[in-house]
Structure 1
Amino acid sequence: MSPSVFTLFSSIGCLISGYVADWLGRRVTIVACQAPICIGWLCTGFSKRRAITGIGSGMALAPPRIYCSEISLPNMRGVIGACSSLSVSIGIAIQAGLGKYLNWPVICYICSFYTVTNFICFLFLPETPFFMLKTKSLDEARAALAHFRARDYDLDKEIDQMRKFKEANDIRKISARERLSLLFKPSAYKPFTMVVVYIFISQIAGTSGVPIWAVEMLTIAKSSVDVDTGNFLMCLTRLVINCLTVILIFKTGRKPLAHVSALGVAVISLVIAIYTSIHKEPSLAPQILFMIYMAFASIGYYLIPFLIASEIYPLQVRGILGGFTVSVTGILMFGCLILTPYLLDSLGLTYMMVIFGLMSLLGVAYIYVFVPETKDLTLQEIEDYYNKRIPALVSQRRLQTLQDIGARRNKTDINVVERKSI
């Protein structure tokens, strides 16, 4: 029950951090959330209560992703955004590894000390240029942007785009009532609904239940590998694949990875179901199959919904919607973590994996129809699309590049024709 309590209370922290991120800023929220995490780890070390840690961790989930999306160039936003999930995987793998050699209170004290170092380091973070654009002047937004760009970078061009975006969308510091009214506009609730449904499908495909209840599932599947070692290997698989995904997302974009993840989870879940229904003797195969499951889940399900959420939500309520998203995720995870052992007892591992596989097949269709591709798009272009100011999600920079290449080719062809005619 403890992981479920942690997950449930993290939803409360997400709601708090979402509002604070839009009110006081992304940087302030990232710094402030270290306090409850530190206190929570200490309390967890002294007892078995995880509520405070859950609240603090919930507060820390959304703001870093928003921060990364708002400081990145369009072509690097996916890579930098993927590093958030990579960091989570590193933390999970480290804790799983330490758990084999240290007792739980010692691990909690180490984590508490780590949050203190985070607090000190995060004090030196500059605020994001988009938050400064919303709450301060254009000059202050420019100063913030300069922290994240090279010295020879053309700041004027990007600032001019931000100025036009600010004027077109009436970007300014708004009241709580205005912020509430913005939540009910199509540009806010449509992308929010799309992301939440995507996350819901990922949860009922087992992406939380499998890693949390891995020891029990490996035992039922008759894995010949020590179950604690097997659990660590699954965490390590997630880490390795996340490292690979950081590279892949730079080349492929979001949607292809999302499709591969959903289809892969569907197929491997059904393979596990077939295997467990036929083979009853101890074997290495269950360990390998569950590691493959974690690999496919790590490519997209653990990454893409939250990366897209940090990109497509409107600037004025990005913090609140980001907090809502992670909060809903926490509630869904809580339900799945509670439900998974009951499914194991009542249906058995075989039929439970069949359900996971079928739900992931549903995810393949959903991603194809509803999930947008945001690679190389600026945050302004994405928001303009959802505000119906542009007809399609097309990168103007990429379009201009293609037009320039076409113009150069035409000019070259004309020169060749002229030389031949002479």
Structure 2
Amino acid sequence: MNSLIGRSTLSQITAVTVKNIVLLGYGMSLGFPTLLIPDLSRRNVDDPLYLGPEGISWIASINLFAIPFGCLVSGVVTQPLGRRRSMQLINIPFGICWIVYYFSSEAWHILVTLAITGLAGGLKETPVLTYVVEISQPHLRGTLTSTASVTVAAGVMLEFILGKFLNWKSAALCSLVVPFLSFSLLFFIPETPSWLLSKGRSEEAKRSLAWLRGWVSEENVTKEYEKLRHNLRINSELENHNTTINQNDIRMKLLNELSVLKLFRKRNFRRPFMLLTVASFLVHFCGLSPIQVYAVNLFTSLHSPIDGHTATAILGVVGLLGSLLCVTIIGKCGRRVTSFISLSGTAVAFFVLGTYTHFFNINSLMPPKNITKYMLNTTAHSSTEMNVSQTWFPFVTLLMAAFSAQMGIRLLPWTLVAEVFPNEIRDISAGMVAMNFYILGSICNKVFLKYTDFVTLPGTFWTFSAVSGLGVAVLYFILPETEGRTLFEISEHFSGRSQLGYSLDRRKATAEEENELSIKLHREELNN
């Protein structure tokens, strides 16, 4: 029995690991602007690849601006193609974009290609999210889902490391390996049993389930297969509950569609959507997004004792370690405590960093080409001389800020999004949350340079600190503890019929309890 459980776990980990290679490539695309910005901003004005501050702000944000447009059609594309095939096809634009980067000769080539990678990143949202949910068993689902953010952080780190040893064109060519590897390996994992059943491909669904439960024979998964088919039939009946009217009656069809739209006006949509909007805002405006994108320039401006690209590679490693720590402790501490620790650490780190830069009169983000002259001018106007040992202080403090943000608040929207919405609108709501998340990120990165010019670098760091501190206070009142709770209990809380409370519930629901409560919730929503 233990051997079968171990094999079942291993097969699911294998499938999710292959799926995560898509996210590794996506993370590398997010890290690539950090390599572009230092080079493109320091070229001669007459160089076709030169970009001024306005162009640089677009380099930092245009991919995030484009992601929501990909999210809009992600579900539409994924449903007919399937989860696995959709993930395979997404690798094609990523691969083409890495080639275009290598051969780019003008700045607009890069901007257009960044926008295309953003669209591809949006298209991957639905297949990667639904794949892990549909193939995993309940006791593994939380852990396997959380690996997504860790893998994205690993992709960012890998791109930063490539930027340390290679110029951005060579780094782009090396990055081409990942989408090719992902496309190839996806042939060796199965499509989800749920999607196959929805298409009437029952034999393939049973083979897929046997593969995912430890490469066992189809007879060994007969019971789970029948239960899955039964649950899908019940869900289908519930979803079609309001569509049993005469399909030729246009008026009744319209009323039925309007009844679905009314779900978005209910409290159990408004409250979680507001919560996730706040969480998404905090992820970006606590400083995490700008310090990743402008990392090389930030470390240089802070007089880092090591070169900017090496420091940025270390930043990537620290971000990955923070994500790994979050995955480790969130099940033990809960979402509330993890988020509070994360935001508090970020607030303290940025307050200290703002005070430091104010004390040493470091007001500018974009240093001139001659950094030695820049450092001399900076310290000459400061009341205090800066020695080498003191330059380690802002370097370590900035790393602490990134680590704190990654170990809690960065993952909060993505750990909540699959839990807090009603069944009927869960997919659409998740897409809306993803769009919100990336729009806020693109705005944050776009205005960062102008905001820094307006309030100086110390003022910017103090703003990040204030946002993080305020975030703790706001989340204290609006964030319930959902760890260990069933989907039914969470929905009851956001509907206002009960309260989850703020303490961690260490009781884990069984798969049967989860199914029964989910179906009960579905029926109640339809009756209402």
SS in 1 for 2:417: helix
Is 1:181 aligned to 2:261, yes or no? yes
Whether the 8 Å CA contact 2:484–2:506 is kept in 1: the answer is no
241-250 or 284-293, which deviates more:
241-250
Change (3 A) 1:226 1:15: same
Q: Deviations over 1:52-93 (max 9, x none)?
A: 122112222453234323433444333212211111111111
Q: Deviations over 1:276-300 (max 9, x none)?
A: 2224625111110011011101111
SS in 2 for 1:312: coil
Is 1:105 aligned to 2:105, yes or no? no
In the alignment, which residue of structure 2 is the partner of 1:240? 321
In the alignment, which residue of structure 1 is the partner of 2:96? 39
Question: What is the CA distance between 1:274 and its match in structure 2?
Answer: 1.7
Change (3 A) 1:248 1:101: same
SS in 1 for 2:418: helix
Please list every run of 5 or more consecutive structure 2 residues that lacks an aligned counterpart in the other structure: 1-57, 105-109, 244-252, 361-378, 380-385, 511-528
In the alignment, which residue of structure 1 is the partner of 2:143? 79
Distance across 1 between alignment mates of 2:437 and 2:422: 20
In the alignment, which residue of structure 1 is the partner of 2:38? none
One-letter code of the match for 1:17?
A: S
Question: What is the CA distance between 1:310 and its match in structure 2?
Answer: 2.9
**TM-score (structure 2 length as normaliser):** 0.66
In the alignment, which residue of structure 2 is the partner of 1:417? none
Q: Say how many residue pairs are matched.
A: 401
One-letter code of the match for 1:181?
A: L
Whether the 8 Å CA contact 1:258–1:301 is kept in 2: the answer is yes
Distance across 1 between alignment mates of 2:332 and 2:137: 15
Whether the 8 Å CA contact 1:27–1:127 is kept in 2: the answer is yes
Q: Deviations over 1:129-172 (max 9, x none)?
A: 56568776999988765554456787389759946973895479
Q: RMSD between aligned alpha carbons?
A: 3.8
2:224 equivalent among 152, 155, 158: 155
Is 1:223 aligned to 2:304, yes or no? yes
Distance across 2 between alignment mates of 1:297 and 1:284: 20
1:253 equivalent among 324, 330, 334: 334
Distance across 2 between alignment mates of 1:314 and 1:142: 29
In the alignment, which residue of structure 2 is the partner of 1:285? 393
In the alignment, which residue of structure 1 is the partner of 2:470? 362
Question: What is the CA distance between 1:126 and its match in structure 2?
Answer: 3.6
1:376 equivalent among 484, 500, 512: 484
**TM-score (structure 1 length as normaliser):** 0.80
Distance across 2 between alignment mates of 1:130 and 1:379: 19
Q: Deviations over 1:310-347 (max 9, x none)?
A: 33344444443333322222221111111111122221
Is 1:299 aligned to 2:404, yes or no? no
152-161 or 240-249, which deviates more:
152-161
Distance across 2 between alignment mates of 1:190 and 1:140: 40
How is 1:125-136 mapped onto 2 (pairs within 5 angstroms)?
125-128=189-192
Change (3 A) 1:68 1:378: farther
Distance across 2 between alignment mates of 1:107 and 1:256: 39
Q: Deviations over 1:375-410 (max 9, x none)?
A: 23455654566567876589796479xxxxxxxxxx
Distance across 2 between alignment mates of 1:294 and 1:14: 27
How is 1:87-102 mapped onto 2 (pairs within 5 angstroms)?
87-102=151-166
Distance across 2 between alignment mates of 1:91 and 1:126: 24
Distance across 2 between alignment mates of 1:17 and 1:330: 15
Whether the 8 Å CA contact 2:486–2:509 is kept in 1: the answer is no
In the alignment, which residue of structure 2 is the partner of 1:267? 348
In the alignment, which residue of structure 2 is the partner of 1:114? 178
1:53 equivalent among 113, 117, 126: 117
1:17 equivalent among 74, 82, 92: 74
Distance across 1 between alignment mates of 2:340 and 2:200: 40
Whether the 8 Å CA contact 1:215–1:228 is kept in 2: the answer is yes
In the alignment, which residue of structure 1 is the partner of 2:276? 195
Larger radius of gyration: 2
In the alignment, which residue of structure 2 is the partner of 1:166? 235
268-277 or 75-84, which deviates more:
75-84
1:345 equivalent among 441, 453, 457: 453
Q: Deviations over 1:7-43 (max 9, x none)?
A: 2112211222144345654434323322222222222
300-309 or 153-162, which deviates more:
153-162
Distance across 2 between alignment mates of 1:18 and 1:330: 17
Distance across 1 between alignment mates of 2:241 and 2:354: 54
1:65 equivalent among 129, 133, 150: 129
Whether the 8 Å CA contact 1:21–1:63 is kept in 2: the answer is yes
Please list every run of 5 or more consecutive structure 1 residues that lacks an aligned counterpart in the other structure: 401-422
Distance across 2 between alignment mates of 1:136 and 1:258: 43
Change (3 A) 1:399 1:34: closer
Question: What is the CA distance between 1:256 and its match in structure 2?
Answer: 2.1
SS in 1 for 2:165: coil
SS in 2 for 1:67: helix
What percent of counterpart residues are identical? 28
6-15 or 25-34, which deviates more:
25-34
6-15 or 164-173, which deviates more:
164-173
In the alignment, which residue of structure 2 is the partner of 1:420? none
One-letter code of the match for 1:59?
A: L
Whether the 8 Å CA contact 1:132–1:141 is kept in 2: the answer is yes
41-50 or 354-363, which deviates more:
41-50
Distance across 1 between alignment mates of 2:233 and 2:393: 57
User: Larger relative CO (CA 8 A, sep 6+): 1 or 2?
Assistant: 1
Question: What is the CA distance between 1:116 and its match in structure 2?
Answer: 2.6
Distance across 2 between alignment mates of 1:172 and 1:126: 31
In the alignment, which residue of structure 1 is the partner of 2:416? 308
Question: What is the CA distance between 1:125 and its match in structure 2?
Answer: 4.0
